[in-house]
Each structure stands twice: as structure tokens, then as C-alpha cells.
Chains A and B, each alone.
Chain A
């Protein structure tokens, strides 16, 4: 009797989360999956089990290239963000005096306070031919003519990295400050130098922070529409941009849904890959 009551109580506590997930994830996902198997006859939607949209994705170069472009940009952004965020988090955690750490963190995440769109347009002006970067390089005599930085993949990656370094700094910092100083002391006592201590002790112990931040970066980056649209200058299209075209110009919900399913598939693969490589269940 008591077990049954406990079970009911458990379901009762879990019910809000289950209902929320069902209403805002499971049901929309099922509808989207069903839509991806529908097809269009002219402007008329035909429900059914059609593979047309997935075949179209394989056949049309601009569609599968969008997948490649998204993966390339996301991989670049994730690696660069980790490489830049780790030292920043390290400095804040171990080099900045404790009483200044809160301010340092605040300054690190200050750009979060501005609108994402405004920040992207600001980068466009910074990277423009007449912008700060080109003008500085020309003043220093490094380049003679302005180089094209805006409306390129470089601009897209820059905008993304600026955003995700902040995110990763937080997740890695949270991990670093939890490490007991005794780990480092023990490694030193055993004869490890600073690099060996970092390589064999600190880095493995901070992998949870890196993995969490990197996975969030991957998910948010590969699904982002704003940054490549504003900073990339449509010089190449990512999956979210192609989805928007299908929705906004063609009202082709089936193909847009198929692309969204592919996007979800990529995120799932990334998670499984990270989980296998890092044994994320252990972290």
C-alpha cells in the first residue's frame, strides 16, 4: 500500500514536467516528423508517408551543402570558443583575487546584456571595410588596402565566438572553482610540473564544464539563424537559413520540417558522440 502511495506521489511530482515536455516537445516533434513525411502538390498539402523531402535533401546541392556549411561553422566555433574561454576562465578562477572575481565575471558576460541582433550589426560595422579592424590594420601598416571581413564566414564565426566564449567561460569557471587546491598540490608533490599538472589532473577534472559548454555551443550555434543571416551576407547558407526560406517564401512546411529533423539528428549525433568520447554519463 505504502509502495503504491509512493509511486502515485512520484508520478504526481513528475506530472508537471511530463505534461510540459509532452505539450512542448513530444507533440510538436511528432507533428514535425509527420509533416516531414507529407508532400506538396502545388500549394496543396498531402499527408502520408512520403520520402520525397529527404530525397530532395540528398539531390539538391544547395540543401546538402547547407548541412555541410552548418557543420563546418559549428565545429570551428565550438573549438575556437573552448580554446579562448578556457584561459579566460582559468585567469578569473586562479589569477584574479577572490574579491574581484565577481566583477571579472560580470565584465566577461557584459555583452550578454545587449540585444543579439544589435550585437551582430555592431560586429558588421566593426568588420566593415571602413571599420575599426581594417582602419587599425591600415594605420599600423599591416595592410595597404581594406580586406573584406564583413559578410564572410569569418564574420559569422567571429560573431558566434564572441557570444559563446561568454557562455563557455561561465561553465568552465564553475568547474574550475570547485576543484580543491589539494589536487594541484598533490600533483606537484609527486613531481609533476605545471604543464603535467594541467594536462593530467586539471584538464580531465574540468572536462564536465568543457563538455557541457561545448555541447550547448554546438546546439545553439547549429540552430542559429540571426548571426549567419546578418554577418554572413548570404554568401553561403546554413540549415536554419534554408529552413526560413522554405517557410517564408515557399510555405513548404514539409521540406522545412525534414530539414529541422535533420538538424535534430545532427544534434543527437553530437550528443551521442560526446557522451561516448567523454563517457558523459560519468561526468
Chain B
């Protein structure tokens, strides 16, 4: 499995084998997550999307006003200073900062970094901490903070049964959409079995299992997985709101090497403020 935006790097490195496109049920997928431009090169398919979701705002509905979470500038305003943590991954969080500044994630260039940096500084100034998956989830679950910037269903859905007050939303400015892809390694010793596994993973049954795995929940790429999910599971995943969410979300920023280094410098500079 690999981040959707990184498939081209794996293809360039020659570590992925072609996949038989006609054996993949991509016609049943949510159209926005098929992402042929990411998963194929020169007309050859090398990977297929298997899970997606959002880097957005997770929060404790009992501790904050849910209406405030619809506006990104309010999320990291003085009102919630010291009550939020930032997910420690520069791409989605800087994507959110870009959306807040009115910049499309796909259009981010070096000239936009000043504007993004200004938003990041405000965000950092209001944050109690910056944490990875475990740290930010723990901080929200233990009440150390009430908001996770960059969180989403992947952070709170697995806790829904025990702590239903922990939830997530997509603000009016939008959210960043993540996606994972799966493929077969070029030097696989058992490519036929590997392909069968890929086909199972993207089948409706496999997708439903993957969407609700104990590791973390996320939306299945295959829309037919809904037939294998319970109503409660669909509610946690916001199944019925996906059309609106997909329309109001943008993919991770996909910077080239130079821009990537500049973005990481800005990220680290922000952390050290």
C-alpha cells in the first residue's frame, strides 16, 4: 500500500508491476477517487485506490461549539487557543492552511508560501502541541486538547463507540483528501497470488473490511462496499454525505522536489516558533 500521491515515485523507481485494468472494479468506485492520473503512467495502470478520507478538523463536540468548526479561521482563533493540536504531517496541514488562505492545494507554488506561512503561524500560536497519529489521538481522547487540525474520520471513527462526542467535520473552506493505493511489486515472487489479494482488497467485501479495520477507519474506494456495511458504520463514515464532502475537498499538495524542500523548511520553521 502506498499514498496515492506517491505512486508515481514508485513507478519511476520501477518497483511496481502493471495491473490488468480490466480485472479491477474501478467502474464501481466513487469517480473522484479512481485517480487514473495518479495510479497509472503512459496508459499503464500500476496501482488502484483502496481507501480514502479527509485531513480536516476532528473535535470534541461536548467541549467546543460545532458551528465554530465550520470556519477554519475560528478553529485556530483566540477562542480555542491552547486547546488544539496539529497533526504532524506537513502536506495535509499546509494544504488546510492553503485552503484557509483561498489557495487550491494543486496550485501551491513557492510564491504562495508567505501566505501559507502566515496562516501556519496563527495555527501554531494557538496550538498546545504538534503530534503524530498516536499522540494527537491520545491528546483528543484524554481531553488534553479539544481539536485536532488535520484529523478526520481516520482519527475519531475507531473511537466512536466509546467516545461518541469525538467527531469530525469538513469546514466551509474545504478539506484535504487523502487516498491510499495498492499494487503488486515488480519483483514479487508470487505475482498471481498478489494480484488476487489486490482484487480481494478492492472487492465490495474486502473494501468493507478495510474501511472498518481496527487500525483506522476510512472510506472505501468501491461504492458497492456499502452493501456490506451496517447503518451504524455508514453513519460513522458519513456515507450519505460523501457527495458533498468529495465536492468540497482537494487532494494533498503534490510538490516537486524543490517546492517540497521549501514546504518542509516552512513547516519546521513554524514548529520552532
Contacts and interface: CB of A to CB of B under 8 A. Distances in A.
A130 B129 contact: no
Interface residues of B, number: 23
Interface in B68-115: 82, 85, 88, 90
Contacts of A274: none
A129 interface: yes
B128 interface: yes
Interface stretch (A15-23, A61-69, A82-90, A104-112): A61-69
Contacts of B138: 124
B268 A237 contact: yes
A247 to B, nearest CB: 12
Most buried by A among B261, B264, B271: B271
Interface in B114-131: 128-131
B130 A234 contact: yes
Contact of A230 (B82, B135, B144, B264): B135
Contacts, number: 64
Contacts of B130: 233-235
Nearest to A124: B138
Contacts of A157: none
Q: Name the interface size band of chain A.
A: 20 to 34
Nearest to B86: A234
B264 A62 contact: no
A234 B265 contact: no
A73 B269 CA distance: 19
Interface string B14-48: 00000000000000000000000000000000000
12 contacts: A61-B272, A62-B268, A124-B138, A130-B142, A148-B82, A151-B128, A233-B128, A233-B131, A234-B88, A235-B130, A237-B272, A245-B268
Nearest 8 CB-CB pairs, A to B?
A233-B129, A151-B129, A234-B130, A62-B272, A62-B268, A62-B269, A42-B257, A65-B272
Interface of B: 82, 85, 88, 90, 128-131, 135, 138-139, 142-144, 257-258, 261, 264-265, 268-269, 271-272
